[in-house]
Amino acid sequence: MSDKVVKDQTRWTLGCGLELKAVAGNKWGLSQWHLDGFELHPEASADFLMTLELFRDERTDYRFNLSSQQPKLFVVLDILQSLEEPNLVAISASQSLAGQYMDGDYLVLSADMPVAIQAWMERLLAVMASFLRSVVRSVKERGVQVASEFLNRWSRRKLNPEAEEAEPVEEPLQEVLTEQTASEDEPLEQTVADDIEDEERYKDLSVAELLTTTAAASVKKAALRKLFLSGEFSAVDNLNDYDHDYASVGKLGARWPKNSEIG
What integer best gives the mean pLDDT of the chain? 72
* CA dist., res. 132 & res. 67, Å (int): 20
Q: How many other CB atoms are there within 10 angstroms of residue 2's CB atom?
A: 18
Predicted confidence (pLDDT) per residue in 76-132, tens digit = 998 776 677 778 899 999 999 998 998 778 889 999 999 999 999 998 888 877 656
pLDDT at 170 over 60: no
- What is the average pLDDT across 2-8? 76
Q: Where are the domains of the chain?
A: 11-124, 160-254
Radius of gyration of the chain measured on its C-alpha atoms: 37
Side chain identity, residue 128? M
The partner residues of 88 in beta bridges, in order of sequence, read 77
* CA dist., res. 109 & res. 158, Å (int): 70
- pTM of the complete model: 0.49
Predicted confidence (pLDDT) per residue in 213-230, tens digit = 777 777 777 777 776 666
- What is the average pLDDT across 27-49? 85
**What confidence score (pLDDT) does residue 38 get?**
93
